[in-house]
Amino acid sequence: MKILVTGGAGYVGSNLVPKLLASGHKVRVLDNLMYNGYSLLPYFGDENFEFVKGDVLDADVVRKCTHDADIIIHLAAIVGYPACKKDPNLAKDVNVFGTRLVDKHRSKSQPVFYASTGSNYGALVGDICTEETPLNPLTIYGTTKTEAEQMLLDSGSVVCYRFATAFGLSPRMRLDLLINDFVYQAVKKRNLILYEKTYKRTFVHVRDMVRCFLFTIENYDKMENQVYNVGSNQLNYSKEEVALLIKEKIDFYLHFADIGKDEDQRNYEVSYEKISKLGFETSITVDQGIDELIRAYELIDIKNPFSNI
């Protein structure tokens, strides 16, 4: 198949592209290289790989990139509360208008796999979220992703994933993700100040996110026009539990603070029964992810906290 990956040089895309190529697909990446494209350098010699340097906000570029794609994996976005707060107008443009352009310039025979987010649920204290739970996004990130998700569902020929909070290593690394950040603070600064310690979060390793896209390619007929929470019921943790897992592996100062706030106000568990019933299960635990992050951070100086997906 010919697969277009928007934002393919990002955190998820740089893990996804090699897996698609290894599976025999032809891959076109559209990315503006906001965070450089070093992660994709190894694939420029592959005859099945094409890179287009351009912006998802450029209608002409989007039209040219989508015209012959069998599948569009739409990752291009300004991701996470910190990055969206830094430039709210850009976040609205990329997350909503960019998605509208992708939808406008594809036919209904070209399915879109859309990377949405669990931030769409907003503040739901103590609840277990299913795909039917009413959405209540509280930040620009959540509201823009919710709007784009609904737009694609209204249009059809789509699969939307409300991914749990990602973690794990990537050639295009992100340090603004909770587990990635906690481990970084512990390894590099030997200090972590933690607020809202009892708040529940749910997680998914970036390589399992990639596996989910591959799973959908093989099972699209069963998944079309549906929303799926993507993660694992075994990866629901409080912030305190994550910090204490890290502390079992490395010595650092851990302080629980009374002041501080997660703007998304995520404090809930998520059910992954819907996608599990189709046969998809995650494969990497939080414990395993923490181990790989510690090994990498101890050897490599990774910087740049803001990132696309």
The residue ranking higher by pLDDT, 308 or 240, is 240
Residue 234 phi/psi, 5-degree rounding, is -85, -5
| Residues contacting 56, CB < 8 A, separation 6+ | 6, 7, 30, 32, 62, 76, 94, 98, 101, 102
Q: What is the mean pLDDT of residues 74-79?
A: 96
Buried b / exposed e along 96-131 (16+ C-beta atoms within 10 A): bebbbbbbebbeeebbbbbbbbbbbbbebeeeebeb
In angstroms, the CA 307 to CA 13 distance is 12
Answer whether residue 123 shows pLDDT above 90. no
Q: What is the mean pLDDT of residues 169-194?
A: 95
Task: Give the per-residue pLDDT at 230.
Answer: 98
Cβ 85 vs Cβ 140: under 8 Å: yes
Specify the 3-state DSSP secondary structure of 186: helix
Answer whether residue 265 shows pLDDT above 70. no
> What percent of the chain stands above pLDDT 90?
81
Q: How far apart are the first and last CA of the chain?
A: 23
Answer whether residue 306 shows pLDDT above 60. no
In angstroms, the CA 190 to CA 250 distance is 9
| CB hemisphere CA count around 269 (13 angstroms) | 13
Q: Which domains does the chain have, with CATH numbers?
A: 2-166+205-231 (3.40.50.720), 167-202+234-299 (3.90.25.10)
Answer whether residue 196 shows pLDDT above 90. no
Task: Give the per-residue pLDDT at 100.
Answer: 98
Answer whether residue 187 shows pLDDT above 80. yes
pLDDT class for 260, splitting at 50, 70, 90?
A: low
Q: Give whole-number Cα distances, 32 to 29, 69, 82, 309, in Å.
A: 10, 19, 20, 13
Q: What is the mean pLDDT of residues 215-231?
A: 98
Q: In whole numbers, what is the pLDDT of the chain averaged over residues?
A: 93
Residues in a beta bridge with 253? 191
Task: Give the per-residue pLDDT at 309.
Answer: 43
Answer whether residue 234 shows pLDDT above 50. yes
The residue ranking higher by pLDDT, 82 or 65, is 65
Answer whether residue 227 shows pLDDT above 60. yes
Task: Give the per-residue pLDDT at 305.
Answer: 44
Least confident of 2-6, 100-104, 204-208, 270-274: 270-274
Residue 85 CA to chain centroid, in angstroms? 17
Interval 32-67: pLDDT, tens: 999 888 999 999 999 999 999 999 999 999 999 999
Q: Tell which residue, 110, 100, 45, 50, has the closest CA to residue 76.
A: 100
Answer whether residue 307 shows pLDDT above 60. no
> What percent of the chain stands above pLDDT 70?
93
In angstroms, the CA 177 to CA 191 distance is 17
Task: Give the per-residue pLDDT at 158.
Answer: 98
Q: What share of the chain is helix, strand, coil (3-state, %, to 5)?
A: 40, 20, 40
Q: What is the mean pLDDT of residues 170-193?
A: 95
Cβ 94 vs Cβ 146: under 8 Å: no
| Residues contacting 277, CB < 8 A, separation 6+ | none
Least confident of 15-29, 208-222, 223-237, 295-309: 295-309
